[in-house]
Structure 1
Amino acid sequence: MIVPVTPIEQNCTLIWCTRTMKAAVIDPGGDLAKIRSAVAQAGVTVEKVLLTHGHIDHAGEAKPLADELGVAIEGPHEADRFWLARLADDGRNWGINGVPFEPDRWLDEGDTVTVGDLTLDVYHTPGHTAGHVIFHHAPSNFAQVGDVLFQGSVGRTDLPQGDHQTLVNSIVTKLWPLGGETAFIPGHGKPSTFGHERQWNMFVSDDALSA
């Protein structure tokens, strides 16, 4: 379930295990009332907060939500400590509530996270930020990719610690091998599939990268 939050319309996502009805909130950047409403509507119990990266629209209110629910925060990779430490300053600049914190668990390549009976694989995908991670559930061909890849575009790399070639490498070496049939929810905009983006995305399609 996608819950758009903050003035930047970030895709906070609620995922859950249908057997246990245990859930995770991915990237609760703000608008906690909307997130609470989505949790109530789904009838699930949130057991953790997951973060793809440390930008204000994704992580600004992760700490208040986790404290309110009494759950742990897992992610992102420790290289995003820089962003999590400056959430209050960035929040003032964007008009978003930002609460600095350190997660209960940093994530790295090869780690897994659990949501009820579900197990999601973690991939370290730097480029948009140095510590960006994505979450992949292989049995359902689903991924939550934060701001690495969008429908028709890719994450911006003009912010501190961003690097365009590193981002492209992350997409080609980490996302494409997961399979073209994999559907993904990006940090902004509409869902898509890796196959569609590999064919049509003007930044990272096979044709664009071979030109």
Structure 2
Amino acid sequence: MTIQCTIVPVTPYQQNCSVIQCQASKKAAIVDPGGDVDRILEAVAKMDATVEKIILTHAHMDHCAAADVLRQQLNVTIEGPHEDDNFWLEKLPEWCKMSGFPHAEAFTPDRWLHDGDTVTVGEQTLQVVHCPGHTPGHVVFHYQPQQVAWVGDVLFQGSIGRTDFPKGNHDDLVSSIRDKLFPLGDDITFIPGHGPTSTFGQERRTNPFVADEKYG
């Protein structure tokens, strides 16, 4: 195994923050740290990992509110999401206040990500897939050698992401799933932003929102 992943559910939203560790180098990336910094760092310590970066699928508060805190605390960089989510980051304090979420300051990532980019974790390389719909700047991280993907709030077991937030788009979301994610392969296991893992093949067969039978 070249990558180890520990999922840490964080915030009252039970968001699936992941710690991805390159087994060869022991270096790690934290995916979508929405809160509960102590719990995330506890997982890092148990893995004996050295965090080198934070990577974000999108800019909703439950996925990114602790990112800047960790960036400063660990002296690491933030990569992602796509810059079309910048309006979410700029208004992060307002969204947190409106939702009764712990306060988070607005921040800017060190690197915006685009479709076709790559992100390294130690000696491993993740492919970046831009998947708008839930948010316009949402990205997915695909690690082909182990057939695994971190999909944020694009796709869930038996469901898909909400599109009733500002600049959400249902048609774009369905297109992202069916035209960008499913072609990556039925055997890919995906870690969603909330809830249990699944595979693209299972969702193609059974997901009422994007199954082949409904849209094919």
User: What TM-score do the two structures reach when normalised by structure 1?
Assistant: 0.98
| Residues in 2 aligned to 1:198 and 1:97: alpha-carbon distance in whole angstroms | 38
| Residues in 1 aligned to 2:46 and 2:154: alpha-carbon distance in whole angstroms | 29
- Render the CA deviation track for 1:23-73: whole Å, top value 9, x for unaligned: 000000101011011101111000000000000000111001111000000
Give the counterpart letter for 2:32 in structure 1: D
Give the counterpart letter for 2:95 in structure 1: D
1:80 aligns with 2:91: no
Matched residue count:
210
1:167 aligns with 2:173: yes
1:136 aligns with 2:142: yes
1:20 aligns with 2:25: yes
- Render the CA deviation track for 1:88-126: whole Å, top value 9, x for unaligned: 111112222322101000000010000001000001000
1:30 aligns with 2:68: no
Give the counterpart letter for 2:69 in structure 1: P
| Paired residue secondary structure (2:58) | coil
Identity %: 56
1:12·1:28 contact (CA, 8 Å) conserved in 2? yes
Give the counterpart letter for 1:119 in structure 2: T
| Paired residue secondary structure (1:8) | coil
1:151 corresponding residue in structure 2: 157
1:70 corresponding residue in structure 2: 75
| Residues in 2 aligned to 1:127 and 1:121: alpha-carbon distance in whole angstroms | 19
| Residues in 1 aligned to 2:103 and 2:151: alpha-carbon distance in whole angstroms | 23
| Paired residue secondary structure (1:16) | strand
1:208 corresponding residue in structure 2: 214
1:6·1:96 contact (CA, 8 Å) conserved in 2? no
- Render the CA deviation track for 1:174-196: whole Å, top value 9, x for unaligned: 10011000000000000000000
| Residues in 2 aligned to 1:46 and 1:205: alpha-carbon distance in whole angstroms | 37
1:128·1:155 contact (CA, 8 Å) conserved in 2? yes
| Residues in 1 aligned to 2:113 and 2:81: alpha-carbon distance in whole angstroms | 6
2:3 corresponding residue in structure 1: none
1:53 corresponding residue in structure 2: 58
| Paired residue secondary structure (2:46) | helix
Query: In structure 2, which of residues 196, 200, 206 is the aligned counterpart of residue 194 of structure 1?
Result: 200
2:98 corresponding residue in structure 1: 93
Give the counterpart letter for 2:159 in structure 1: S
| Paired residue secondary structure (1:106) | coil
2:182 corresponding residue in structure 1: 176
